[in-house]
Amino acid sequence: MVRRVSIFGATGSIGQNTIDLIARDAEAYEIIALTGGANVDQLAADALRLRAQVAVTAFEDRLDDLRALLSGSGVEAAAGEAALLEAAERPADWIMSAIVGAAGLAPGLAALRHGTTLALANKESLVTAGPLLMATARDHGAQVLPVDSEHSAVFQALVGEDIAAVERIIITASGGAFRDWPLEALEHATLAEASSHPNWDMGQRITIDSASMFNKSLELIETKEYFVVTPDQIEVVVHPESLIHAMVGFTDGAIMAHVGPPDMRHAIGYALHWPVRRALPVHRLDLAQIGTFSFRAPDEDRWPALRLARAVMAEGGLAGAAFNAAKERSLDGFIAGEIKFTEMAAVVEDVLTQLSGDPGLSSAEITLDTVRQMDHLARQRAAEAIAARQ
């Protein structure tokens, strides 16, 4: 049976890896929607090649160019937030959620309300609105499948297991670009240095977030929200080889580890073919040649983001939305040269300190509106904190 598939964030790193898998077996899929941002050349080329129903750019000022590229092809062109939602509501069997940042939440919720299976790379959806996302899935009988490599690994280690027998979930971290830098050098880390990952080839924002460990801090919250475990059951261990993606420790003392090459097409392919396993075009590991798997404890002086994530999990409510928005704004600030690498965590901590204790943070109901309001407020506070440092 032909499966109807949409890819949100199709022009990005996850989106392109998803297209790579789908294009290998194009006859098996009908492409409903592909979405992207400013890169309409890539979006149009993929939409034409895969004969998508509609191509959507997030940016309205890119619509004319997208239209011109698709003219006469029969592929519809659309732009803007409303068009993204409309595309998410088109009947489909499987949607890849691979927009980067908080912008990925609304289309994912719209897809779930239509019962569509959501392959979730956009971890920000769980960080900002985990309870809302999972409840929407439950209420509409829709499945959320994790695509983040650590969470896909845990999901796979849990097949046939009872969550009540889980004692701990251990997610691994490569340590990113600055794992072995002297601490005092971090302050002077450049954008180019932070944008290069030792093991994974990913989008720029998540690569910088890997160097600061904000990525791992988002993943701690993602683990709590998706698997419904308590924060003290989740551990982070630095594993420089990036070959073990996560481990699950059970009440009998056994640990199940998921091992594989650092290639996102594994986790994407697992979610694409779930609940069955199919052959995937990823490199096979030669363990004797690899020789060693090494581990070390994460250093919270080097990576204060991990400590902040623990505080956010303890606070609950909209703290995740505030944390993510402050993180996104401070990342923008680092990319724009407004603040230093090490100031990103300081800005996020400033914002959390200002907002914590506010009942609007910890006990507000989590809806798309309250998440958006908190997102807006935290970005504003982060901008002020950045301005105060200049």
Q: Contact positions toward ligand NAD, by CB under 6 A?
A: 9-15, 36-37, 58, 98-101, 103, 121-124, 148, 200, 202-203, 205-206, 264
Distance (Å, whole) CA 135 – CA 364: 16
Pairing of strands 244-250, 234-238: unpaired
- Angstrom CA distances, 45 to 16, 21, 358, stand at 12, 16, 48
244 token code pair = 């073990």
Residue 103: CB atoms within 10 A of its CB come to: 18
Residue 231 C-beta: closest distance to ligand NAD, Å:
20
Name the amino acid, one letter, at 253: G
**Tell me, what DSSP letter sits at residue 78?**
E
Q: What letter would DSSP give residue 80?
A: S
Identity of the residue, 43 or 354, whose beta carbon is nearer to ligand NAD in the bound complex: 43
Identify the CA nearest to 155 among candidates 145, 170, 164, 143.
145
Report the nearest approach of Mg ion to the CB of residue 307 (Å). 19
C-alpha span between 136 and 145 (Å, rounded): 14
Instruction: Select 12 or 298, whichever has its Cβ closest to ligand NAD.
Output: 12
- Cβ proximity to ligand NAD: between 60 and 187 the closer is 60
- Taking the complex as a whole, the smallest distance from the CB of residue 306 to ligand NAD amounts, in Å, to 17
Backbone angles phi, psi at 250, to 5 degrees: -105, 170
Q: Which listed option, Mg ion, ligand NAD, none, makes contact with residue 103 (CB within 5 to 8 Å by class)?
A: ligand NAD
Q: Across the strands, what pairs with 250?
A: 166
Closer to ligand NAD by Cβ: residue 245 or 354: 245
Looking at beta carbons only, is 143 or 204 nearer to ligand NAD?
204
Find which of ligand NAD, Mg ion, none residue 37 binds, CB within 5 to 8 Å per kind. ligand NAD
Tell the smallest beta-carbon distance from residue 206 to ligand NAD (Å): 4
Query: At its nearest, how many Å lie between ligand NAD and the CB of residue 147?
Result: 6
Where does this chain bind Mg ion (CB under 5 A)?
A: 148-150
Residue 203 binding target from Mg ion, ligand NAD, none, CB below 5 to 8 Å by type:
ligand NAD
Return the residue matching tokens 């985990």: 130
Strand, coil or helix: 232: helix
**What SS3 state is found at 387?**
helix
Question: Residue 364 or 368: which CB sits closer to ligand NAD?
Answer: 368
- C-beta of 32 vs 350, nearer to ligand NAD: 32
Beta carbons of 111 and 118 less than 8 angstroms apart: yes
Contact criterion met (CB below 8 Å) for 326 and 347: yes
| Distance in Å, CB of 234 to ligand NAD, minimum | 17
Residue 98 interacting entry, from Mg ion, ligand NAD, none, C-beta within 5 to 8 Å by type: ligand NAD
Question: Tokens 């309300």 map to which residue?
Answer: 113
Give the nearest residue (CB) to ligand NAD.
12
**Residue 150 or 343 having the CB closest to Mg ion:** 150
Q: Which does 217 bind (CB under 5 to 8 A by kind): Mg ion, ligand NAD, none?
A: none
For residues 320, 323, 324, 330, the Cα torsion angle rounded to the nearest 10 degrees is 180
Q: Which is nearer to Mg ion, 222 or 315 (CB)?
A: 222
Tell me the C-alpha distance between 274 and 11, whole Å: 23
CB of 91 to Mg ion, least distance (A): 30
Sequence-distant (≥ 6) Cβ neighbours of residue 136 within 8 angstroms: 109, 112, 113, 142
H/E stretch holding 58 reads none
Minimum Å distance from CB 36 to ligand NAD?
4
Q: Which does 123 bind (CB under 5 to 8 A by kind): Mg ion, ligand NAD, none?
A: ligand NAD
Q: How far is the CB of 102 from ligand NAD (least distance, A)?
A: 8
Comparing every residue's Cβ against Mg ion, the nearest one is: 148
Instruction: Choose from Mg ion, ligand NAD, none: what does 240 bind? Cβ within 5-8 Å by kind.
Output: none
58 binds, among Mg ion, ligand NAD, none (CB under 5 to 8 A by kind): ligand NAD
